[in-house]
Amino acid sequence: MQKKWWHDSVVYQIYPRSFQDSNGDGIGDIQGIISRLDYLKKLGIDALWLSPVFESPNDDNGYDISDYRNIMAEFGTMEDMDELIRACNERGIRLIMDLVVNHTSDEHPWFIEAKKSKDNPYRDYYIWRDPIERDVPNGLGSTFSGPAWEFDETTGQYYLHLFSKKQPDLNWENKKVREEVWDMMNFWLDKGIGGFRMDVIDLIGKQPDNEITGNGPKLHEYLHEMNKETFGQHDVMTVGETWGATPEIAKLYSDPKRDELSMVFQFEHIGLDEVPGKEKWDWQALDFKELKRIFSKWQTCFDGDGWNSLFWNNHDTPRIISRWGDDSEEYRELSGKMLATILHMQKGTPYIYQGEEIGMVNTPVQTISQLDDIESLNMYHDRLAKGYSEEEILTSINKKGRDNARRPMHWNAEENAGFTDGEPWLALNPRVEEINVERALNDPYSIFYHYQKLIALRKNNPIVVWGEYRELLPESDTLYVYERSFEGECWVVIANFTKERVSYDLEENTPMEIILSNYEDLLQEGVSLQLRPYEAVILKY
């Protein structure tokens, strides 16, 4: 495979609203991000993915865009944005913008026009259907609860919205829509950005009349066209958010010969604590062996015809330490380092979500008034109406709700964690004193430095980037063990996923070197390695 810069890169995701406020209005902003670039440089990341910063009425915190070529006033101005791109480029950091083009805001001028009449030139930018028997055209549902169709009084038709009703879906079959999108993408590429993260991109080939949403028949045709018309000639990376990707589908997107995307986010591991066939709120315990099986499947499926992205967290998922690690004071850091190790030693491009590098945790709430997220709020009302108890609903939200990831970043132990001098837009997690950047930077054994070392290992060792992956103990209920091998060298990652002590038999007389561990030493009894709670070690044979 031809080597590209993103093959050995690590990407850091910023949720701008919650990262750093610079002017005391309680809302994170672009100047705030600029002021923290040296911190990110110190961590060692190569690229930043910025969740949307474009003009938006904020029905879904920026994922409802009303002007793709302007910056949300709360975040700053286009001058600030240009300064951020420059400041990143000066530090060798590429800036990845969030491309949200499955839908716009209902306040986008295209939709305002489209709504006016059936023969408005913008009408076909969106997806309109007649009522059927005075009701919705079909049974398509919104990800944010309720039907995906909203009735428009003026013209007597329904429009499609797979997310909130303030996020009408664009009609990708309309060539004019595609051309508008290419134009807008080129506008940003000309500013010198490093690429795009593409929001729910697997939905753009939808066929609403057949109730097909993901992986529609024309999806790959559109992406190929997008590549040709926009970023194909630039040295940028692209990552598609694709909830429905299987390895076969992921290859279609990321096989370099097909000229579509660099890679996609697949979510198979993310769904493992959901009851199959139900909603994300219907959770079950994680099946650890299944997690390993999914990882191993994705590690071995590409064979050079595609590329993985690696992530535990993003702005839509709960914090991984609370989810599959242990967020008690005793084990938070150990389990956080273990989780980081098993992910970062895999093959692919790792993503770190803001706060993950200091081991931030979930923020349970007691009442619905402590929440902001539209997905959680809509679900709450929907399920109350369906007869669920308030307690059940809040338990689901505390486990899975998106606000867990969206609480402001902890920079120090001062009031409001150094995030803002004003009133934060969303209340902070209470564990600020224990978990903050300043403290992490002053502690050589912090999670921060563990992440820093993992990133450096990837930079300095081609085995991490290119090495072949082989899992060793698929049947173990407690250990995750895999090897990476490259040009005669072999590393083995041995991780204890539990808080019990577990032993692992090494091959006799194999000389070994510790590359990295979350404990100070190895505990060995003869050839048997004694793994302490959440111990994770990388050994070189």
The residues assigned a catalytic role are: 199, 241
User: Nearer Cβ to ligand TEU, position 118 or 278?
Assistant: 278
Q: How far is the CB of 203 from ligand TEU (least distance, A)?
A: 9
Q: Which of Ca ion, ligand TEU, none binds 94 (CB below 5-8 Å, type-dependent)?
A: none
Is-contact 314 278, C-beta < 8 A?
Answer: no
Work out what residue 29 binds among Ca ion, ligand TEU, none; the CB cut-off runs from 5 to 8 Å by kind.
Answer: Ca ion
Q: Between 14 and 27, name the residue whose CB sits nearer to Ca ion.
A: 27
- End-to-end Cα spacing for the chain: 27
The residue (of 105 and 446) whose beta carbon lies closer to ligand TEU is: 105
Q: For Ca ion, give the closer residue by CB, 195 or 408.
A: 408
Pick the closer one to ligand TEU by CB: 199 or 333: 199
Instruction: Spell out the residues 6+ positions from residue 125 whose beta carbon is closer than 8 angstroms to its own.
Output: 110, 111, 114, 170, 171, 174, 176, 177, 180
**Minimum CB separation from Ca ion for residue 29, in Å?**
4
Q: Which listed option, Ca ion, ligand TEU, none, makes contact with residue 23 (CB within 5 to 8 Å by class)?
A: Ca ion
Cβ partners under 8 Å of residue 482, min gap 6: 296, 299, 345, 469, 470, 471, 472, 492, 493
Interface with ligand TEU, residue 122, by CB under 6 A:
no
Rounded least distance, CB 194 to ligand TEU, Å: 19
Q: Least CB distance from residue 35 to Ca ion, whole Å?
A: 11
Asked if 421 interacts with Ca ion (CB under 5 A), we say no
Task: Pick between residue 300 and residue 378 the one whose CB is nearest to ligand TEU.
Answer: 378
Shortest distance, CB of residue 143 to ligand TEU, whole angstroms? 5
Q: Which residue is nearest to Ca ion (CB)?
A: 29
The SS3 call for residue 206 is coil
d(CA 449, CA 42): 10
User: Contact with Ca ion (CB under 5 A): which of 23, 35, 174, 503?
Assistant: 23
Partner that binds at residue 316, options Ca ion, ligand TEU, none, CB closer than 5 to 8 Å by kind: ligand TEU
516: left (phi over 0), alpha (psi -120 to 50) or beta: beta
Residue among 409 and 464 whose Cβ is closer to ligand TEU: 409
Residue 402 in contact with ligand TEU, rule: CB under 6 A: yes
What phi and psi values does residue 204 have, to the nearest 5 degrees?
Answer: -70, -15
Cβ(518)–Cβ(450) below 8 Å: yes
Considering the complex, what minimum distance in angstroms separates the CB of residue 27 from Ca ion?
A: 4
Contact 105, 167 (CB under 8 A): yes
Among residues 199, 260, 357, 535, the one that binds ligand TEU under rule CB under 6 A: 199
Residue 128 contact among Ca ion, ligand TEU, none, beta carbon within 5 to 8 Å by kind: none
Shortest distance in whole angstroms from residue 231 CB to ligand TEU:
20
Residue 420 interacts, among Ca ion, ligand TEU, none and using kind-specific CB cut-offs from 5 to 8 Å, with none
d(CA 157, CA 136): 9
Instruction: Pull the structure tokens for residue 75.
Output: 């975040």
If binding is defined by CB under 6 A, does position 163 make contact with ligand TEU? yes
* Candidate list 106, 150, 273, 375; residue touching ligand TEU; CB under 6 A: 375
What are 86-93's contacts with CB under 8 Å, separation 24+? 87/34, 87/37, 88/37, 88/48, 88/194, 89/192, 91/37, 91/38, 91/41, 92/46, 93/37, 93/40, 93/41, 93/45, 93/46, 93/47, 93/48
From the list 43, 47, 159, 175, the residue with the least C-alpha distance to 111 is 159
The reply on whether position 98 binds Ca ion by CB under 5 A is no
**Nearest-10 crossing angle of helices 288-300, 247-254:** 40
Record the tokens describing residue 65, joined without a space: 């865009």
Is 268 near ligand TEU (CB under 6 A)? no
Q: How far is the CB of 314 from ligand TEU (least distance, A)?
A: 7
Cα separation of 358 and 320, whole Å? 12
Given a contact cutoff of 8 angstroms between Cβ atoms, the answer to whether 15 and 406 are in contact is yes
Choose which of 316, 326, 356, 403 interacts with ligand TEU (CB under 6 A). 316
Residues 200-239 that bind ligand TEU (CB under 6 A): 200
DSSP character string of 442-506: H-TTSHHHHHHHHHHHHHH-HHHHH-EEEES-TT-SSEEEEEEEETTEEEEEEEE-SSS-EEEEP
Query: Which entry of Ca ion, ligand TEU, none binds 379, CB below 5 to 8 A by partner kind?
Result: none
Q: Which of residues 123-152 bind ligand TEU (CB under 6 A)?
A: 143
Looking at beta carbons only, is 316 or 326 nearer to ligand TEU? Answer: 316
Q: Does 273 bind ligand TEU (CB under 6 A)?
A: no
User: CA torsion, points 430, 311, 100, 170, in degrees to nearest 10?
Assistant: -120
- Answer yes or no: are the C-beta atoms of 416 and 428 closer than 8 Å: yes
Find which of Ca ion, ligand TEU, none residue 357 binds, CB within 5 to 8 Å per kind: none
Among 8, 25, 82, 372, binds Ca ion (CB under 5 A): 25
What is the C-alpha to C-alpha distance for residues 236 and 181, in angstroms, rounded to an integer?
Answer: 17
Report how far Cα 440 is from the mean position of its chain's Cα atoms: 23
Q: Should residue 280 be labelled a site residue for ligand TEU when binding is judged by CB under 6 A? A: yes
Distance CA 406, CA 310 (A): 20
Q: Site mask, ligand TEU, residues 66-105, x = CB under 6 A?
A: ----------------------------------x-----
Establish how many alpha carbons lie within 13 A of residue 363's alpha carbon, considering only the half-sphere containing its beta carbon. Answer: 23
From the list ligand TEU, Ca ion, none, pick the one residue 21 interacts with, judged by a Cβ distance below 5 to 8 Å according to partner type: Ca ion
Positions touching ligand TEU (CB under 6 A) are 60, 63, 100, 143, 163, 199-200, 241, 243, 280, 315-316, 375, 402
